[in-house]
Structure 1
Amino acid sequence: MTTAPAARPGLVVMIAFFVTLSGRFTLERVGLDVPIVNDVRVPLFLVLILSLVLEAHHVGSRPAEGSHALLGILALLGYQALSVLWVPPGSITGPMLGDLLAIAGLLVVYFNLAAWDRDRVTATTLKLFHAAAWVYFLAAASGRGHQANGRWAALGGGPNVFIRIMILGMITSLYLYLRYDEKLIWLVPIPAFMFGAIASGSRGGIVALAITIAVALLAIRPRIDFERIAKPLALVAVLGTVLVITAGPSIAGYVQSRFVEATIGQGYASSRDVLFQMALRIFLQRPILGTGLNGFYTVTDLGFGERYVHNLPLSIAAEGGFVGLVLLLVAWLSLWHAYAAVPLRERSLESRIAAYCGIFVGAASLFSGDYYDARLMWILLLLAAVRPAPAALPVPR
């Protein structure tokens, strides 16, 4: 008697990825300005939850190891939502509450998917990131989405979103190379994605990439086989040189003005230094609980241009105080504890690559983005940490 193969997550993973990557869009442009109703995430989430229920109902409950990692993140999000009780008068908190609720919903969905079949879900997600990187790169290379100053962007996202997709495309290229018999063809996109990352002009994203590489080298340093990596590095170097020679002149002037003259010559930091100082000052003034959710924007009154700090820990410090920072640290430590609980030799390639992707997005969150922009960090780190619990052994009769 043969047993039916275990059900495996399929379409629901693709829907979850689309909902995650689509960001937040409202229907105000078409005249619908009713809160919640005009947020396209509402119907998308309904479709996602329905697809998860329909696809997984025949599987039953799946226990997971590392569930405390999810609880640590939800505790932070819950505290941030609770902080609306002490926001300054006039603070607008509705959209931020919606963002926190959306992050929590995505995390619960991905937790259930990871408990079901973590490595399959993560592998599919990484491949989808690779495909998305190609879509974003080709859209930007065609000239669509560029900002007025020449910075590359695509599909409605800004340059800081664009570079995150480009770097994730590079990391997933490496994943595909390692997963599929180390065929060099999988490394060919890396120079193109790196070109797109530089063309975005996002200096914080480049620094975040450097941080990720440093972390990775520290982790794998004892096991580096220089003979094994010589050929892949040579291929990437040659392709990169060809790309710079052929396409480099099109952005050479922009790179000179953005990275060399503005950053090195003039010390231009896109007002990040000012925002960081303001956040630190607010934290020192209200060190225990902070200003509450979206209180930074209300207190600083910087106008429409700057609504958040562009640094996740400083933003939580300003709006959540010391309590928020402790919960942020607990969330990160919970993820690390769940990830480190698996011996190194037993960690899957998917788990390790998801961890590096999450580290990169987390490093990028030190220089750009708000709470909702950090969702990829939480999701990827959760996929790295959570795994299905081992099947129970049959009780001998």
Structure 2
Amino acid sequence: MTVRPEPRPGLVVLIAFVVTLSGRFTLERVGLDVPVVNDVRVPLFLILVLALVLEAHHVGSHPVEGGHALLGILALLGYQALSVLWVPAGAVTGPALGDLLAITGLLIVYFNLAAWDRDRVTATTLKLFHLAAWVYFLAAASGRGHHVNGRWAALGGGPNVFIRIMILGMITSLYLYLRSGEKLIWLVPIPAFLFGAIASGSRGGIVALGVTIAVALLAIRPRIDVDRIAKPLALVAVLGTILVITAGPSIAGYVQSRFVEATLGQGYASSRDVLFQMALRIFLQRPILGTGLNGFHTVTDLGFGERYVHNLPLSIAAEGGFVGLVLLLVAWLGLWHAYAAVPVRERSLEARIAAYCGIFIGATSLFSGDYYDARLMWILLLLAAVRPARAPVRLPS
């Protein structure tokens, strides 16, 4: 009798990626105004949930390991949603609640996909990020989406979104290099993506890249083979030098003014220092429960421009207080515990790369973005931690 191979996740992974990457894209950006579906997440989520339900019905349920990692994140998100009960008068909480609900939905989808076939789902997601990096880079290189100050951006996202995609493109280039049996062709995009990252002018993103590299070096330090990495490093260095010589002059003046004069010379921090101080002051005034969801914007009354702290822990401290910080720590520790439960030698390449991608997004969340912008961190770390349960070992009778 012929045994049919078990179905594997396919289209549903692509749909989940599109929903994740689309962010808060609205039809108003392209001049349309359609009630209910203006926020494209509404129809996309309906399609995603329907696809997952159909797939799950076809395949059935799967036992999973590391499931407690999801519970820690959901506890944090649930508490944040509950905090609308003590927000200041006049606080607008609807959009923030919608964001939390969207993150919860994405996490449940990816959890089920990871329980089904984590490594295949992660591999597909990483490849899609690599493709997205090329799309963003080419769009920005053509001049579309640049800010008035010259910072590179693309497809309706800001420079801080752009640099996240560029660095994820670099990391996924390394993944494809290792997965292909160390074919050097996969390293060729790294200098281009790094060039795009610098052109974005996102200083926090560059710092986050440095943090990720430091964490990676600490993790692999005992296993570094100098002879093995010499040729790849030489290739990237040569390509990077050529790129700087040919394209560097186009952004040289901008880099000089943004990174050297403004940052090092004038100490310009894009008001992040002010926002951080405000968040800390609010936390000290309301240390237990905080101001409640979106309470920071209401209390500070900074107007339309600054609606959030641009730092995930400080934002949770201000709006969720000590309880929120404890739940954030529990969520991170739950992810780490689930990831570390697998011995180093048994960890798949996909799980390790997803972990580094998640660490990078987490580091960027210290300098930019709000709760919904941190969704990639939660998703990638969840993919690193959750895995299908191993089949029980049958002892001979």
Same fold (TM over 0.5): yes
| SS at 2:59 equivalent | coil
- Partner letter of residue 336 of structure 2? W
State the match for 1:105 in structure 2.
Answer: 105
Does residue 123 (structure 1) correspond to residue 123 (structure 2)? The answer is yes
Identity within the alignment, %: 88
State the match for 2:206 in structure 1.
Answer: 206
Alignment of 1:145-184 (within 5 A): 145-184=145-184
Shift of 1:396: 7.8
Distance between the aligned counterparts of 1:18 and 1:206, measured in 2? 25
State the match for 2:215 in structure 1.
Answer: 215
State the match for 1:339 in structure 2.
Answer: 339
Shift of 1:40: 1.6
Structure 1 unmatched ranges of 5 or more: none
Distance between the aligned counterparts of 1:343 and 1:51, measured in 2? 34
CA deviations 1:204-233 (Å, max 9, x no partner) are: 000000000000000000000000000000
Distance between the aligned counterparts of 2:293 and 2:37, measured in 1? 22
State the match for 2:379 in structure 1.
Answer: 379
State the match for 1:62 in structure 2.
Answer: 62
Shift of 1:109: 0.1
Shift of 1:57: 1.3
- Partner letter of residue 355 of structure 1? A
Distance between the aligned counterparts of 2:33 and 2:389, measured in 1? 48
Shift of 1:147: 0.1
Distance between the aligned counterparts of 1:6 and 1:392, measured in 2? 18
CA deviations 1:167-219 (Å, max 9, x no partner) are: 00000000000000100000000000000000000000000000000000000
| SS at 1:267 equivalent | coil
State the match for 1:302 in structure 2.
Answer: 302
| SS at 1:57 equivalent | helix
Distance between the aligned counterparts of 1:159 and 1:315, measured in 2? 21
Q: Residue 321 and residue 248 in structure 1: after superposition, are their counterparts in 2 closer, same or farther (change >3 A)?
A: same
State the match for 1:269 in structure 2.
Answer: 269
Shift of 1:27: 4.1
- Partner letter of residue 356 of structure 1? Y
Shift of 1:21: 0.2
- Partner letter of residue 82 of structure 1? L
State the match for 1:313 in structure 2.
Answer: 313
Alignment of 1:2-13 (within 5 A): 2-13=2-13
State the match for 2:286 in structure 1.
Answer: 286
TM-score normalised by the chain length of structure 2: 0.98
Distance between the aligned counterparts of 2:70 and 2:123, measured in 1? 20
Distance between the aligned counterparts of 1:185 and 1:370, measured in 2? 36
* More displaced stretch, 54-63 vs 246-255: 54-63
State the match for 2:247 in structure 1.
Answer: 247
2:32 maps to which of 30, 33, 53: 30
| SS at 1:106 equivalent | helix
CA deviations 1:4-63 (Å, max 9, x no partner) are: 10110001000000000000133455344x6x6532211100000111111231211111
Root-mean-square deviation (Å):
1.2
TM-score normalised by the chain length of structure 1: 0.98
- Partner letter of residue 32 of structure 2? V
Structure 2 unmatched ranges of 5 or more: none
Distance between the aligned counterparts of 1:245 and 1:37, measured in 2? 46
Q: Residue 395 and residue 226 in structure 1: after superposition, are their counterparts in 2 closer, same or farther (change >3 A)?
A: closer
Aligned residue pair count: 395
- Partner letter of residue 316 of structure 1? I
